[in-house]
Amino acid sequence: MEKESNFKKEKIEGEIYLPPIFFKAPTDELSDIGRKLDKGAVYLKKVNGTLLNIKTGQDENISHVQGLKTGQDESISHLQGLKTGQDENISHLQGLKTGQDESISHLQELKTGQDESISHLQELKTGQEKANSKFDTMISLLEKISNK
């Protein structure tokens, strides 16, 4: 007497790899099929255990990757802090450059003023030399008059 199965038969499209433990030969007896199904159940438990181990490994990998991401986030935060510091330094240096440019401009104005002062002093020297020459001429004339 055949036992009625609660399993629904469905055709699977495509090729699926099944270990030989699941193959059914046309000569298999019901008792032999039961033995193969028992072996298959044991095999599936092993596969399930392996899959659980793989999942555990993947969970650990995910945990490690999350740790790496946390480290990267901290590095990014640190680098952003460094960038902010660099931006502040650049701003400060630009302020110093502006101050230096203003100092250079003032020094150029001072040099221009000094050049003008030197030019005036040279004119005064030339005028003084002319006055000295006239004064020498007057002294010479007075000496001639007094010697007569």
Average pLDDT over residues 47-57: 89
**7 vs 4, 29, 47, CA distance in Å?**
9, 18, 22
Q: Distance (Å, rounded) from C-alpha 66 to C-alpha 74? A: 12
**68 vs 55, 79, 89, CA distance in Å?**
19, 16, 31
Q: Where are the domains of the chain?
A: 20-147
pLDDT value at 35 more than 70:
yes
Predicted confidence at residue 2, as pLDDT, reads 53
Nearest to 21 by CA among 4, 49, 46, 54: 46
Using one digit for the tens of pLDDT, what is the confidence trace for 56-110? 999 999 999 999 999 999 999 999 999 999 999 999 999 999 999 999 999 999 9
Using one digit for the tens of pLDDT, what is the confidence trace for 96-145? 999 999 999 999 999 999 999 999 999 999 999 999 999 999 999 999 88
